[in-house]
Structure 1
């Protein structure tokens, strides 16, 4: 799939986005507003967004009550209130995928109960912060693209992607595909505006972090595009397949998570130069592409509790594993505690006609190991 369709814009959407961005120019930006994160939407409930009658709380729009949004994001929220539930689901999808990908790592993508979502970890421009930005951005693209297809958003519908050149000429390009074009553009506007409305001195460390976040946001969006596929379905009497219809479809988000995890493992360390550009820190490494993840500083070891880490004390580990989930690596050499735990589970299930399943409850004792 080419990237040419990214250049095709929907005039109505861009006009509304331009109005929102112009509105942010006249607002004084308080950098204290940026302590939180828009990813906080993934930790909040979204029942309120399903009822248009409660979009306003008194005289104040609901968008101004959400913690973590920057001024530009608040304006976009007000223009696209029906999108915010979808954005929240996308952020939540990204958070859950992050936690699955890092479930056996010292940093397990744990969240905290405030608007920063991942706590002080994201203050360090490490590869973990890079992954968090990428997977959250990818989650929103995925969620918005699917919502368009399902008819849940007012400003988009089925995909308008062009017919792939290599598609069999006898097959019909149609159906209602996932609108990845719109999902990409909306996510780019909503997520990136947070970084673009900041003004930092050229070549400063703050500008470096700004460019790092923008780069990784884009890498996340492109990961969704990379994993998009063409799906086809046969039509005809008795499965004769006399007619074949094809459309654009998102891959399961796990594939996007796996792809970004590989990019995390091969992330490139960069630095900000005097011209205000990111460049590779060590010349022997390849220049990262737009799909690669970048970071500015090495990660802490995440072994012990500190102002940036929860540590691994109390984490379950695998005594027999030599990998990162093993007690040796996960517990950072501190050792582990073992105890026998009694578990109950369903077993010996039988299906009875018709129609229910009857199971017994089995009890077993297992060894559980936790890091000291």
Structure 2
């Protein structure tokens, strides 16, 4: 066997060192050399478990300290971020703005979040709700050291079905809300302007939305499961309920303006009656999102699939902004002629269908609004 010379070994180490240096430089450029906007913590969802607190752009000192102190919670937040972004995209799948995310962009949604619009209001609310949900779930499942499920409820209580005993271990929603408030609100509390107040308000609405749908879960005791005795605890509902609720709030969001002393909001609509305390609020009107406009963060609707027969937001007339649509015949495979086989399977055939798919036409002169 031929021995390697020290120079050869040193050369290979140098090459490996150079390769690592290039990788670290690339990561640093990706994380740092991008414009800073609010809520860069959303990018934790893209970084995942290998999050390096010092390298996340846009975190304020308090957020960075919480990140360093609780890396296990940051991992939960990262997983939760993927869930609430997916929920946002589900809620807006039939609308011109469809909660699109941008690859390799730590702002996640791009310039569309720079405007204090209804869309920004929804994103801040659903993201805040997502943190509450993720932290609460991690506590209850025993995934983190700092918290666990809530065992404080003791004694008897009653509901429409009668009396029950508190038992088991409830989801620790109060800790989830407390941590989400400390982490998510930290940046907004450093600024005193209309956008910061708007974000704080919508963050709170998101947190309260998760708590709103806490449900009672029970276990029956008694002879042959007669349920003469019940042991119950509180659990979070599926996150879809929170998403549905906040999407309704998006549709009825209230336009507001900052009051003269800069401490709160005034409702802009004089005919508005009631309180905006539990409503999503916004300051600026939204663009129509019909055409690509990079300055506004609009991707446009060219090429979006639309429903020819619908009169709603997913209909071709609304989705395509009156530009018309193209129709393409495509073949799709689906399961059909399914039969139950004893015992106990269902067997289906593969059937091929030809369907029409409608997509929005592009603007005749898209370069007019394709701003750089």
Please give the TM-score of this superposition, normalised by the length of structure 2: 0.81
- The answer as to whether partners of 1:269 and 1:280 remain within 8 angstroms in 2 is yes
Which of 166, 178, 188 matches 2:171?
178
Deviations 1:76-134 (A, max 9, x none): 10011110111112222211111111111111111111111111111000011000000
- Bigger radius of gyration: 2
**Which sits farther off after the overlay, 34-43 or 347-356?**
347-356
**Are residues 1:42 and 2:45 paired?**
yes
Is 1:294 aligned with 2:281? yes
What is residue 66 of structure 2 aligned with on the other side? 76
Q: Kindly tell me: are residues 90 and 68 of structure 1, through their superposed partners in 2, closer, same or farther at Cα, counting changes over 3 Å?
A: farther
Query: Secondary structure at 1:269's aligned position in 2?
Result: strand
Question: Residues 275 and 112 (structure 1 numbering): CA distance in 2 closer, same or farther, change over 3 Å?
Answer: same
User: Deviation string for 1:281-300 (max 9, x for gaps)?
Assistant: 23321354432100000111
In 2, the alpha carbon distance for the partners of 1:223 and 1:145 equals 14
| CA separation of 1:120 and 1:333: change in aligned 2, threshold 3 A | same
Aligned residue in 2 for 1:341:
330
* Structure 2 residue 94 is the aligned partner of structure 1 residue 107: no
Aligned 8 A contact 1:40 1:116 in 2:
yes
Deviation, structure 1 residue 355: 6.5
Provide closer, same or farther for how the CA distance between residues 69 and 356 of structure 1 changes in structure 2, counting only shifts above 3 A.
farther
Matched, 1:156 2:142: no
Which of 112, 129, 137 is the aligned partner of 1:138? 129
- 1:1-372 matches, cutoff 5 A: 33-34=36-37, 37-46=40-49, 48=50, 62-113=52-103, 114-160=105-151, 162=153, 166-167=158-159, 170-196=163-189, 198-200=190-192, 207-276=193-262, 277-286=264-273, 288-307=275-294, 308-350=297-339, 352=341, 358-372=347-361
- Aligned counterparts of 1:357 and 1:150: Cα–Cα separation in 2: 35
The DSSP-based 3-state class of the residue aligned with 2:186 is: helix
Q: Take 1:235 and 1:165, find their aligned partners in 2: how far apart are those partners?
A: 16
Maintained 8 Å contact 1:99/1:109: yes
How many residues are matched? 322
Distance 1:33 1:118, change over 3 A: closer
> Aligned with 2:286: secondary structure?
coil
CA distance in structure 1 between the partners assigned to 2:208 and 2:39 by the alignment: 25
Q: 1:32 to 1:327 in 2, by over 3 A?
A: closer
Change beyond 3 A, Cα 1:93–1:290: farther
CA distance in 2, matches of 1:250, 1:299: 33
CA distance in 2, matches of 1:63, 1:194: 15
Q: CA RMSD in A?
A: 2.2
CA distance in 2, matches of 1:210, 1:346: 51
Residues 189 and 352 (structure 1 numbering): CA distance in 2 closer, same or farther, change over 3 Å? Answer: same
Q: For the Cα contact (< 8 Å) 1:263–1:293, is it kept in 2?
A: yes
CA distance in 1, matches of 2:278, 2:152: 21
Does the CA-based 8 Å contact 1:68-1:116 persist in structure 2?
no
After the TM superposition, which of the residue ranges 287-296 and 219-228 deviates more from structure 2? 287-296
- Displacement after TM superposition at 1:69 (Å): 3.1
| CA distance in 1 between partners of 2:350 and 2:117 (Å) | 47
Identify if the C-alpha distance between structure 1 residues 245 and 35 changes in structure 2 by more than 3 Å, giving closer, same or farther. closer
